Structure 1
Amino acid sequence: MSAEPMARNDRNDSARRASMAAHPSNHMPKGPAPLHSPGPHAREPREDDVVPRWERLRLVLVQQGLTDEEARTEVVRIGALEVWDGFASELREHRRAGRQDEANAAAVGLRSMQGATLPILRHPGDVVVARSALNRARHRLRHNGVLLGRLQDRPDPLRRAERAFGILEAFLGLA
């Protein structure tokens, strides 16, 4: 093997290691832990559990000077990040415990949610953009959950995230 292909392999390996180390699931979130950090057998979120908390946060943001739409989209962005953090936490836990199938399912969930908050961040206060971003993430979660369900005997692990995104989408419509 010549020096050039060997150097390319070394660069590829180091790039792969660097990208894996930079993945959000490998890092503990800074600040307090998410309020609803789901465990391996977490139940689906219920609207009456989370909407009052989000409504209080929305009111605080409005009191700090945001418009109602800006506050609503910010709350939705925070809620989506909590769901992401919960799945990243599950992924780390499953990896630590050596549960590869569950870790793969959590990784699929993270991939399905990837990028859902970016349009919300880029267009603060735009409820239509926020609803569209959440809806796309829900469709990806549903589609990938069906595919995962075909591959494993367990219940759909992405259903919980899909339900949470649906509640967030409904929260945008409350006025």
Structure 2
Amino acid sequence: MPEIRTLRPARPSIQEHAPLSREEAARRRAMLLHPSNFKPSTSPGSEADRMAEELGSRFDCLHEDLVCRGLPENEARTEVARIAAREVWDGFASQLRRHRAAGRQMDANVLAVALTSIQGMTLALLRHQGDLAYASRAVSTALRRLQYNGGLLDRLHPHGSPAFKDAAVTLQTVEAFLGRRPPTPS
């Protein structure tokens, strides 16, 4: 009778069980964090929708007030964007100070990244008052940076910061506000 041979599973090679070198591990982590792998969340929650609605009506009221005070239409729009950007900046800065004072360095580092994400927006809006195209670009650039850095931080430090989401909603609302055409008087 012929001998029946059973196949044994192949022995794993030494390379499969060997720990990764530091360089290889760093390369793999870098590939996971590469910008091409970033996918911003596309499903806004009802809380974000409500916040965006409130901000939109607040921006409209502020815009009307500035126009009534004599500011030209485009300058009033960019001024609303500058005020909103300044509020986002101030919110991040005050939270950063509180976290540093409390000794929560990880949370402080997250907020420092948020501040660098929107660093140039306020000054850009101040220098180019009335230029809606420039203001829209400045806001959208700051928003992209904030979302990208927020995505990186979520992957690195899962506890994250809700301040990123609130700031992103604010900047998206400002971006929509700048993109709307003012109603033409009949």
The 8 Å contact of residues 141 and 159 in structure 1, kept in 2 or not, is answered as no
- Pick from 120, 130, 135: which aligns with 2:125? 120
Residue 150 of structure 2 is aligned to residue 148 of structure 1: no
Residue 177 of structure 2 is aligned to residue 171 of structure 1: yes
**2: CA distance between counterparts of 1:138 and 1:167?**
11
Number of aligned residue pairs: 133
Per the alignment, in what secondary structure is the counterpart of residue 125 of structure 1?
coil
2:116 corresponds in structure 1 to 111
Query: TM-score, length-normalised on structure 2?
Result: 0.67
The 8 Å contact of residues 99 and 108 in structure 2, kept in 1 or not, is answered as yes
2:140 corresponds in structure 1 to 135
**2: CA distance between counterparts of 1:61 and 1:164?**
20
How far apart are residue 69 of structure 1 and its match? Answer: 1.0
The 8 Å contact of residues 153 and 160 in structure 2, kept in 1 or not, is answered as no
How far apart are residue 59 of structure 1 and its match? Answer: 1.0
The 8 Å contact of residues 118 and 146 in structure 2, kept in 1 or not, is answered as yes
Q: How does 1:1-175 map to 2 (within 5 A)?
A: 46-155=51-160, 157=162, 158-174=164-180, 175=182
**Equivalent AA in structure 2 for residue 79 of structure 1:** A
CA offsets per residue over residues 100-125 of structure 1, 9 Å max, x none? 11111111000101010222111111
Task: Answer with 1 or 2: which has the greater Rg.
Answer: 2
Which is further off, 46-55 or 86-95? 46-55
**Equivalent AA in structure 2 for residue 171 of structure 1:** F
CA offsets per residue over residues 71-126 of structure 1, 9 Å max, x none? 01100100010011000011011111111111111110001010102221111111
**Equivalent AA in structure 2 for residue 104 of structure 1:** N
**Equivalent AA in structure 2 for residue 138 of structure 1:** L
How far apart are residue 156 of structure 1 and its match? Answer: 5.2
How far apart are residue 155 of structure 1 and its match? Answer: 3.9
Query: TM-score, length-normalised on structure 1?
Result: 0.71
**Equivalent AA in structure 2 for residue 131 of structure 1:** S
Q: Which consecutive residues of structure 2, in runs of 5 or more, have no partner in the other structure?
A: 1-46
How far apart are residue 160 of structure 1 and its match? Answer: 2.2
The 8 Å contact of residues 146 and 156 in structure 1, kept in 2 or not, is answered as no
The 8 Å contact of residues 94 and 102 in structure 1, kept in 2 or not, is answered as yes
Q: Which consecutive residues of structure 1, in runs of 5 or more, have no partner in the other structure?
A: 1-42
1:31 corresponds in structure 2 to none
